[in-house]
A and B are shown apart, each in its own frame.
Chain A
Amino acid sequence: MAALLEISGVSKHFGGFTALADVSLAIAEGERFGLIGPNGSGKTTLINCVSGSLRNESGSIIFNGEEVSRLPAYMRTRRGIARSFQIPRPFYSMSVLENLLVPTAYVAHLKDADAEAQALDILRRIGLAEKARAPANRLSQVELRKLELARAMAARPKLLISDETMAGLSGAEVDEMLGILFKLNEAGITIIMIEHIMQAVMRFSQRVVCLDAGRIICEGTPAAVVQNADVQKAYLGA
């Protein structure tokens, strides 16, 4: 399989703190990829570098055969990299539907009726259709997470980065979100899942990478990664 995303030698420092040190990994088209690691290990920094919210200092990020690491975030979104935010950042002054109309206007360049039909279709698939006209500031936590995913989907991504979409949700809600992500993957979207809820990542991912202190300490199948001594040390301490 051809690599959709190829990260090689990416580093990022915040002052004297090394957030990412020479990280390299490749993600194949259609893959379900899990990214784990303890708090502060650099997971979110890595995907911020991929989505363009941060610029990596060295190394390259090749997406779909194109070097994207110097492109501003909005251009990467237009190339097909979409993300959800760990702490939901909806457009609070808009309705749920209008939230989706931002990417449909700026990425898919759809006009009024087409855009609305497309947005409603996505909301239906995510299970948020009955809230389409509700203002975004009246949503519950789980609905906000769904909105994050729905808005990312409205940008017609090839690669979807789900940043702790399930943090703080109940067991049933986690199952629901997992179901949604599986469905999106079946529709051909490559998914990177960043998650602290182990049981969810393990069930979802075909391959898992564990980061610790900005370095990849382990890569493999979910079962192999949880057995790895370094991973256990990183999570539980020596």
Chain B
Amino acid sequence: MKYWASIAALFVLALTVALAPTNDYFFYAAFVVLQFVVLATAWNILGGYAGYVNFGAGAFFAIGAYTATVLFKWLGAPLAVQIAAGAAVSGLLGFGTGLLTLRLRGIFFAIATVAVTFVLETLMINWRYVGGATGLQLVRPAVMPPFESYTRMLFVVMAILALVSVCVARYVQDSWIGRGLRAIRDSEEAAECSGVPTLKLKLFACTVSGALMGAAGAPMPMYLAFIEPASSFSLNYSVSALAMPMIGGTAHWAGPVIGALLLASIQQIVTVTISSEINVLIIGVLLVLFVVAAPDGVLGLFRRWLRSSK
């Protein structure tokens, strides 16, 4: 009850902020931060709970974006349809990738997901309809009232996606599915011998994770009014999707949320105040620091602090 109330409160907060007379730049930046909340939360469903490192988050994200672009150019589909379709196609991609690669374990699975990124990026570079390598300019439709600008509307949309993905992650974590995924992470063979249908559960996690990543990417073309392959498939998305949960803590749904809010906000601030180039360095340095000093992330640090202060 308290949980649903806070979800509703957060939604109302986002809506109120979007209607308040704030500088538009805030929404421009907040959209990106929330997008990373979705991406990190989605990554954690497979990577954190089941221990399968997906290094191709960028591919799922970009396929969501390209699905939205195609639907927009072809049918002029509204944003909600673009997002739903982006999620569906990326979910399918997750299922397919899972079928082909989930028999691989550890590092081999990670490498396979990197390969998926390169294959799909090459495909998009050579697809004229979506602009090929030069990209495609898109004209945004008129903004829906009561919103003042399209960016503000996109901010609310991304806030909804973030809340939905957190609800999904929390449900998966607390249900029997989450227990099975944890068992898989600890010992796949023992999980199987304890009656856990490991392949099915991994496929499920891969599909859900992919779908949420696709949903995160789908509003991107409208946000930029532009799409092109190099930035859509950027390794930055893949690295961030992995680094944020690791820094926040992978064992709990709150971990990726904390990691994403922390890192993406720092990145946004640094981009404006110092330089956009130093962003990647920050992620790298923080990731190394956390992996060495706090392998359980911010959540782990917090738990340790709670225990020592008792």
Contacts and interface: CB of A to CB of B under 8 A. Distances in A.
Given A85-B190, A90-B190, A91-B190, A102 B196 contact: yes
Interface in B179-210: 179-180, 182-183, 185-187, 189-199
Closest 3 A/B residue pairs (Cβ): A106-B195, A107-B195, A91-B186
A102 B189 contact: no
Interface in A68-125: 72-74, 77-78, 82-83, 85, 89-94, 98, 101-103, 105-107
Given A72-B197, A74-B198, A106-B176, A94 B192 contact: no
B179 A101 contact: yes
Contact of B194 (A52, A53, A72, A151): A151
Nearest to B177: A105
B251 interface: yes
8 contacts: A53-B193, A72-B199, A74-B195, A78-B195, A102-B194, A105-B176, A106-B176, A106-B197
Contacts, number: 79
Contact of B196 (A82, A85, A98, A106): A106
A106 B176 CA distance: 8
A191 interface: no
B192 A91 contact: no
B48 to A, nearest CB: 11
Q: Which applies to chain B's interface (DSSP): helix, strand, loop or mixed?
A: helix
Given A98-B179, A106-B176, A155 B195 contact: yes
Interface in B217-250: none
B176 A89 contact: no
A48 to B, nearest CB: 9
A51 interface: yes
Contacts of B187: 89-92
Residue of A51, A74, A105, A107 with most partner-chain B CB within 10 A: A74
Given A52-B193, A107-B194, A152-B193, 18 more contacts: A73-B192, A74-B195, A74-B198, A77-B192, A85-B189, A91-B187, A91-B190, A94-B182, A102-B179, A102-B180, A102-B195, A102-B196, A103-B194, A103-B195, A105-B176, A106-B176, A106-B180, A155-B195
